[in-house]
Amino acid sequence: MLLCANWKMNLSAKEAAEFINTYARSLVPSSVPTVILAPFTAIPAVAEAVKTSALPRERLAFGAQNLYFESFGAFTGEVSATMLLELGCQYAVCGHSERRQIFGETDEIVGKKVIRCVETGLTPIFCIGETLDERKAGNVEIVLKRQLDVGLSRLTEDQFSKLVVAYEPVWAIGTGVVATPEQAQDAHHFIRHRLKAMCGETAKRIHVLYGGSVNPQNVESLMGQPDIDGALVGGASLKVDSLLALHSGCSKVNTAKLKR
Ligand code: 13P
């Protein structure tokens, strides 16, 4: 299981360092890693604070919320995979719905980001999910299938083992309207099934995270579902106590069940 904190455009470098210092001091031993996904400008401060904490990467890791798929060149404002690796990042989010909706990222663009991550040694956290209109129209599986098929079309079967997938229904992001454990499990089951068609038995080992209004109160019921292997959390990851409570919820489920 994995607990991923997507801070979005929140926390300055100074605030991020203070956050990590406090979080690392209070983190109880557990087999659930925390992954901090910080704004670009806070990544060096997070890296330094993680190093100072002396916690191993299996317990506290970090990454970026985005990257560009080219290696270098005239792409004003963009950041490459190797630049992130140099800072110690292990993860990068690819195709978050906010990137898709606000910044116009297509399935093709997201797919190029995913393969760039895998080829350079970053773990992509590949985000998919339907809008409310798509759900109401009964198109959840059609949308998820298209996002998976196009977004992952460049990966070889072996490369699927380097992938993390996040199911984030757009209607649940930042709304307080969380998917029910059954709705989430249904979508995750479908995703697992599609992944199996794409990479065979490797699909069993891929972490498929749920994101969208996860909080300390609902985290255990969601994580208890058989095909949910972790959480990608926005708002509830911005306060140390709340992230610690989420971590404790994930750890409880993880010890109760054998999870990926
Ligand atoms: P919230 O947890 O704030 O709903 O955000 C979810 C999300 O988008 C994480 O990537």
45 Cβ below 6 A of ligand 1: no
Helix (H), strand (E), coil (C) string for 63-95: EECCCECCCCCCCCCCCEHHHHHHCCCCEEEEC
Distance (angstroms) between ligand 1 centre and the Cα of 142 equals 23
Q: Residue 259 has what pLDDT?
A: 62
Please write the tens of the pLDDT for every residue from 162-199.
Answer: 999 999 999 999 999 999 999 999 999 999 999 999 99
Q: Residue 176 has what pLDDT?
A: 94
Ligand 1 atom nearest 97 alpha carbon: 8
Q: Residue 212 has what pLDDT?
A: 98
Q: How far apart are CA 32 and CA 69, in angstroms?
A: 29
Query: Number of C-alpha atoms within 13 angstroms, CB side, residue 205?
Result: 11
Residue nearest (by alpha carbon) to ligand 1 atom 7: 234
Q: How far apart are CA 233 and CA 103, in angstroms?
A: 20
Q: Are 260 and 205 in contact (CB under 8 A)?
A: yes
Q: Residue 242 has what pLDDT?
A: 98
Q: How far apart are CA 135 and CA 129, in angstroms?
A: 10
230 Cβ below 6 A of ligand 1: no
Q: Residue 167 has what pLDDT?
A: 98
Please write the tens of the pLDDT for every residue from 230-254.
Answer: 999 999 999 999 999 999 999 999 9
95 Cβ below 6 A of ligand 1: no
Distance (angstroms) between ligand 1 centre and the Cα of 231 equals 9
Those residues of the chain that have pLDDT short of 50 are none
220 is catalytic: no
Q: How far apart are CA 40 and CA 51, in angstroms?
A: 17
168 is catalytic: yes
212 Cβ below 6 A of ligand 1: yes
Q: Residue 258 has what pLDDT?
A: 61
Q: Residue 8 has what pLDDT?
A: 98
Q: Residue 26 has what pLDDT?
A: 97
174 Cβ below 6 A of ligand 1: yes
Q: Are 208 and 169 in contact (CB under 8 A)?
A: no
Residue nearest (by alpha carbon) to ligand 1 atom 5: 234
